[in-house]
């Protein structure tokens, strides 16, 4: 889509993306012993993703689905669901091969392998090589951006300049460490908190500063006030008045990059999530109907404002077409 088409839409560009983190990731974050039982190992792709696909169909949205390469290799049914969604017009993008939270701390060849194996698996599923990347746990580095540029990626969408999230993550990781355990997650540089909130080209050697790298960074949306993260997890947990205010703030920007996770539409009881995980993950304690209502209302509010829904791939092209550093400036 050419950028000048957008003048027929009065509202902002809205991109909805889903990180398809497998259940095993949540065991790693919370340092839960063992791994998920076989019955729930593939629940995100097989049960949560179809619910999200129904939601998108109701609102006429083509979304971006960030897939973990290993799942595509191991889960035939999940692979088929993703292939069908790609045929229906959704974008499949790269969320690494094994979702290592410490991606940025791995040696360069291992980082490259994480990107390349997922790249190949996704290209095999949808017949179209991915052009977008999101890092596990939102942690990128100059090295990761460099590797993506070398592979011709058009965009990265990992920057998450959310102040309350950063502080909460620091607190949780601290508590886990105090208890003598070790989370699979890591705390990255606080430089992310000063990153632009709008799309930008990152600087070589400094992914959170504007520069001239041949890739577009599409930050995940935070509110202008408090830099509160407007993502699925917060929208389904927040009281209705706060959800409305966060969404209104996000829709006040030219570009709303709405990040969801597959787990956002989990039905903890029916899907068989273990009590130990439900105890750690507040959104799993919210009834599915309530979570669906929150996301439905959010997408309706966007539509009512005349939003133009685009997969991240197309949103990145718009940014490029308009030239830098203007991005989505109206």
Q: Which residues bind Zn ion (CB under 5 A)?
A: 19, 21, 136
> Nearer to Zn ion by C-beta: 130 or 136?
136
Classify residue 200 by its DSSP letter.
Answer: B
CA-to-CA dists, residue 114 to 42, 80, 98, 100, angstroms = 20, 22, 7, 8
* Smallest distance from Zn ion to CB 233, Å: 12
| Helix pair 49-59, 76-87: axis angle to 10 deg | 10
Question: Whose Cβ is closer to Zn ion: residue 21's or residue 75's?
Answer: 21
Please state the closest distance from residue 136 (CB atom) to Zn ion, in A.
5
Those residues whose C-beta lies under 8 Å from the C-beta of residue 10, and which sit 6 or more positions away, are 305, 306
Is the CB of 19 or the CB of 217 nearer to Zn ion?
Answer: 19
Question: From CA 160, how far away is CA 139, in angstroms rounded?
Answer: 9
Measured distance CA(307)–CA(59) in Å, rounded:
11
HSE (side-chain half, CA atoms, 13 Å) at 237:
14
Q: Which residue is listed with tokens 């398809």? A: 20
Cβ distance to Zn ion smaller for residue 26 or 256? 26
Q: How far is the CB of 158 from Zn ion (least distance, A)?
A: 10
Give min distance, CB of 221 to Zn ion, in A.
17
Complex with Zn ion: residue 21 or 271, whichever CB lies closer: 21
- Whole-number minimum distance, CB 24 to Zn ion, in Å? 11
Q: Of 13 and 231, which has the nearer Cβ to Zn ion?
A: 231
- The stretches of the chain forming alpha helices (DSSP H) are 23-29, 43, 49-59, 69-74, 76-87, 108-126, 142-150, 163-178, 232-237, 240-251, 268-271, 275-280, 288-304, 312-322
Query: What minimum distance in Å lies between the beta carbon of 138 and Zn ion?
Result: 8
């Amino acid at each position: 889509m050419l950028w000048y088409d957008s003048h027929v839409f009065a509202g902002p560009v809205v991109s909805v993306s889903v990180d398809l983190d497998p259940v095993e990731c949540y065991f790693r974050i919370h340092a839960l012993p063992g791994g998920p039982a076989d019955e729930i190992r593939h629940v995100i792709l097989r049960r949560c993703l179809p619910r999200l696909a129904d939601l998108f169909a109701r609102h006429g949205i083509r979304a971006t689905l960030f897939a973990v390469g290993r799942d595509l290799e191991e889960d035939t049914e999940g692979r088929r669901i993703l292939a069908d969604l790609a045929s229906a017009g959704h974008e499949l993008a790269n969320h690494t091969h094994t979702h290592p939270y410490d991606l940025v701390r791995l040696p360069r060849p291992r980082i490259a392998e994480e990107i390349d194996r997922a790249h190949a698996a996704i290209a095999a599923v949808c017949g179209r090589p991915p052009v977008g990347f999101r890092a596990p746990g939102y942690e990128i580095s100059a090295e990761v951006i460099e590797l993506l540029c070398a592979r011709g990626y058009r965009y990265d969408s990992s920057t998450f300049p959310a102040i309350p999230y950063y502080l909460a993550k620091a607190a949780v990781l601290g508590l886990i460490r105090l208890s003598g355990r070790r989370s699979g997650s890591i705390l990255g540089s606080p430089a992310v908190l000063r990153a632009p909130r709008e799309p930008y080209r990152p600087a070589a050697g400094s992914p959170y500063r504007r520069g001239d790298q041949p890739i577009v960074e599409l930050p995940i949306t935070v509110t202008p006030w408090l830099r509160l993260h407007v993502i699925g997890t917060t929208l389904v947990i927040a009281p209705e008045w706060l959800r409305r205010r966060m969404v209104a703030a996000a829709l006040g920007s030219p570009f709303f990059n709405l990040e969801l996770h597959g787990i956002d539409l989990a039905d903890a009881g029916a899907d068989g999530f273990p009590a130990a995980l439900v105890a750690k993950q507040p959104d799993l304690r919210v009834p599915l109907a309530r979570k669906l209502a929150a996301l439905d209302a959010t997408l309706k509010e966007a539509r009512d404002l005349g939003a133009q829904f685009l997969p991240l791939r197309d949103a990145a092209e718009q940014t490029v077409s308009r030239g830098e550093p203007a991005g989505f400036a109206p």
